[in-house]
Amino acid sequence: QKEVEQNSGPLSVPEGAIASLNCTYSDRGSQSFFWYRQYSGKSPELIMFIYSNGDKEDGRFTAQLNKASQYVSLLIRDSQPSDSATYLCAVDTGFQKLVFGTGTRLLVSP
Amino acid sequence: DAGVIQSPRHEVTEMGQEVTLRCKPISGHDYLFWYRQTMMRGLELLIYFNNNVPIDDSGMPEDRFSAKMPNASFSTLKIQPSEPRDSAVYFCASSHGGLAGELFFGEGSRLTVL
């Protein structure tokens, strides 16, 4: 079993809709969770992080964490074509060491 | 402010040749990471340094790979001899250790081994 699992997609949503991206992880001891966005041909960039169970909102983005279910999600409200990218879920396994999922490709159509 | 700088951006080489990838982290960052990204395996951590000292190299695929960080502003990842399966994008990232997981990535070095 991979440490961090994501559906590779693509996830296709129309402009203005809510995009929901999901991630599961295997290490119950993990404490910190991150979402990176990677445009095609570019490097990953951090967009959200979450430590506590529940929701964390930042603009159009909401990260959700459920440690009991070992589940992290990212919601993007009012999706825009510029949100089309691959979204990488990452888990801090300790000592600054991040493990990444393989990413979910999001396509937002005008 | 300059970000993480990697060179070369693209490298095409033949099997058996030595490849050296270079990275300059953001000034003041005391963690440096080397990742490899492929379609099949995603982003994999190869090795990381803290204050120029290698902390975890368990992701280095085999003895053909080596990494060094002689000072706080420079690191190299070397592959010798290179093989076609090493073809990937190699990312260097740095962090200041404050928010664990806040990595700043370079633009990557795309390696093709023929």
pLDDT digits (tens, 9 = 90+) for B12-25: 999 999 999 999 99
Query: What's the confidence (pLDDT) of residue A2?
Result: 67
Best residue of B103, B107, B110 to probe chain A, by most A CBs closer than 10 Å: B103
Print burial letters for A79-109: b (CB count within 10 Å at least 16), e (below 16).
beeebbbbbbbbbbbeebbbbbbbbbbbebe
B99 Rama sector, left if φ>0, alpha if ψ -120 to 50, beta otherwise: beta
The band of B6, judged by pLDDT with boundaries at 50, 70 and 90, is very high
The more confidently predicted of residues B91 and A31 is B91
Residues 6+ apart with CB under 8 A from A61: A35, A47, A48, A74, A75, A76, A77
Query: Do residues B101 and A93 lie in contact, with contact meaning Cβ atoms separated by under 8 Å?
Result: no
CA distance B57 to chain A (A): 11
Query: What's the confidence (pLDDT) of residue B2?
Result: 83
Q: What is the pLDDT of residues B37-88, one digit of tens each?
A: 998 889 999 999 999 999 999 999 889 999 999 999 999 999 999 999 999 9
pLDDT per residue, tens digit, chain A (110 aa), is 568 999 988 999 999 999 999 999 998 888 899 999 999 999 999 999 999 999 999 999 999 999 999 999 999 999 999 999 999 999 998 777 889 999 999 999 99
Query: What's the confidence (pLDDT) of residue B112?
Result: 98
Query: What's the confidence (pLDDT) of residue B64?
Result: 95
Query: What's the confidence (pLDDT) of residue B79?
Result: 97
What's the Cα-to-Cα distance from A49 to each of A44, A58, B61, B77, rounded to whole Å? 14, 10, 29, 29
What's the Cα-to-Cα distance from A45 to each of A26, A85, B19, B79, B106, rounded to whole Å? 23, 11, 26, 26, 10
Q: Does A45 touch chain B (CB under 8 A)?
A: yes
Query: What's the confidence (pLDDT) of residue B43?
Result: 94
Q: How much is the average pLDDT of B100-105? A: 87
User: Is B55 within 8 Å of A95 when comparing Cβ atoms?
Assistant: yes
User: Is A88 within 8 Å of B42 when comparing Cβ atoms?
Assistant: yes
∠A61-A71-A63 over CA atoms, to 5°? 10
Cβ atoms < 10 Å from Cβ of B30 = 15
What SS3 state is found at A97? coil
User: Is B45 within 8 Å of A98 when comparing Cβ atoms?
Assistant: yes
Best residue of B31, B34, B95, B105 to probe chain A, by most A CBs closer than 10 Å: B105
Q: Which residue of B has its CA nearest to A86?
A: B42
Query: Phi and psi dihedrals of A36, rounded to 5?
Result: -115, 145
Print burial letters for B15-27: b (CB count within 10 Å at least 16), e (below 16).
eeeebebbbbbbe
- Say yes or no to pLDDT of B100 above 80: no
